[in-house]
């Protein structure tokens, strides 16, 4: 065999090996960039959600908004002068008998928010913050709020705790906690960041005056639980969109198939019928076509 042919075969094997190694490096680089992009997008969505849906009191001071050099308390924030800060922690479906990983993370974020709430209000008018835990028995016999209360005590917190134990959805969470936070000076809603934004929007829908007192909690931290943030971001954004564009979704989606069947039967999600002028509730043929109002259910039965 000629020496030249052996050299050429050896060089060809080297080039083939370099080609395979190059493809492998490109695949690794592309996969790394894709993973970094997905994780970064999840982080960005959570950062945005943690700073959205807040009232005019959000900022370094909760003394009110100054207009023309004078302190002016915005409408709906009348209790800020003397009311205690409230931190509302929303529960996650948990079978028990102990708080699961998600509820433990939310409790930790709630306690961080309590420490931030201690700085609310003007000097000399400080009131101890109140922790409100919300969530009924959705996935097990014990309410989510009670599971979180036990974990709060295990972590050593001995301050006041109020429980809302009948709700089975985020909408009902807000319905249930409103009587507990009406006297609060500032309100922080703590959960997964996108879920907390949804709850703030529900509060603005139900009680715009209380929504004026919403301030930012401490449920967002850069890099915390970064691996699950993309999934929760996608799920949360879809839920936010459905809550905004599908009438009745916020009240009837969480109770499961029963609620979804009732939502479908109500036909509230359908567009206006032809001949109604594009809007329901307008006079047609001497009669008034009224859009069916969807009540906010409390305490769904498990069927």
pLDDT of the residue at 244:
83
Tell me the β-bridge partners of 131. 87, 161
Residue 227 within a domain = no
Residue of 270 and 301 predicted with greater confidence:
270
| Count: domains in the chain | 2
Bond before 97 cis per omega within 30 degrees: yes
CB 82 within 8 Å of CB 122: no
Model confidence at 156: pLDDT above 80: yes
Residue 143 within a domain = yes
Of 181, 189, 249, 177, whose CA–CA distance to 214 is shortest?
189
- Co-location of 269 and 204 in the same domain: no
**Mean pLDDT of the residues in the chain:** 77
CB 69 within 8 Å of CB 214: no
pLDDT of the residue at 197:
95
- Co-location of 84 and 179 in the same domain: yes
Q: What is the mean pLDDT of residues 40-59?
A: 90
- Whole-prediction pTM value? 0.72
pLDDT digits (tens, 9 = 90+) for 112-146: 999 888 876 555 456 788 999 999 998 889 999 99
Residue 129 within a domain = yes
For residue 257, what are the domain limits? 246-288
Name the 3-class secondary structure at 212: coil
Rg (CA), the chain: 26
pLDDT digits (tens, 9 = 90+) for 169-206: 899 999 999 999 999 999 999 999 999 999 999 999 99
pLDDT digits (tens, 9 = 90+) for 208-265: 999 999 999 999 999 898 999 999 999 889 988 888 888 777 776 665 554 555 556 5
Residue 168 within a domain = yes
Residue 279 within a domain = yes
- Co-location of 123 and 191 in the same domain: yes
CB 193 within 8 Å of CB 222: no
Residue 255 within a domain = yes
pLDDT of the residue at 281:
40
Distance CA 201, CA 198 (A): 5
Provide the CATH number for the domain around residue 149. Answer: 3.40.50
Residue of 53 and 12 predicted with greater confidence:
53
Distance CA 28, CA 174 (A): 46
**Band of the pLDDT at 42, cuts 50, 70, 90?**
very high
Of the three residues 164, 185, 211, the one that is the final residue of a domain is 211
């Amino acid at each position: 065999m000629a020496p030249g042919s052996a050299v050429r075969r050896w060089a060809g094997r080297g080039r083939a090996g370099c080609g395979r190694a190059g493809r492998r490096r490109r695949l690794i680089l592309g996969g790394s960039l894709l993973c970094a992009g997905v994780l970064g997008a999840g982080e960005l969505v959570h950062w945005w959600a943690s700073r959205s849906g807040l009232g005019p009191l959000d900022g370094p001071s909760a003394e009110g908004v100054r207009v023309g050099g004078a302190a002016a308390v915005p409408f709906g924030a009348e209790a800020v002068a003397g009311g205690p800060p409230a931190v509302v922690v929303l529960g996650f479906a948990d079978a028990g008998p102990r708080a699961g990983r998600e509820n433990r993370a939310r409790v930790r974020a709630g306690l961080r928010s309590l420490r931030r709430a201690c700085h609310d209000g003007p000097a000399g008018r400080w009131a101890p913050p109140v922790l409100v835990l919300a969530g009924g028995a959705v996935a097990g016999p014990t309410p989510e709020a009670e599971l979180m209360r036990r974990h709060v005590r295990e972590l050593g917190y001995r301050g006041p705790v109020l429980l809302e134990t009948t709700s089975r959805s985020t909408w009902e969470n807000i319905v249930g906690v409103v009587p507990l936070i009406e006297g609060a000076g500032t309100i922080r809603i703590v959960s997964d960041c996108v879920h907390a934004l949804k709850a703030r929007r529900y509060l603005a829908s139900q009680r715009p005056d209380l929504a004026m007192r919403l301030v930012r909690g401490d449920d967002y931290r850069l890099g915390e639980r970064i691996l699950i943030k993309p999934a929760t971001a996608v799920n949360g954004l879809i839920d936010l969109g459905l809550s905004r564009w599908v009438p009745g979704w916020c009240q009837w989606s969480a109770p499961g198939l029963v609620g979804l069947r009732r939502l479908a039967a109500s036909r509230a999600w359908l567009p206006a019928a032809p001949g109604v002028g594009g809007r329901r509730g307008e006079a047609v043929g001497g009669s008034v076509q009224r859009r069916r109002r969807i009540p906010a259910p409390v305490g769904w039965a498990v069927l």
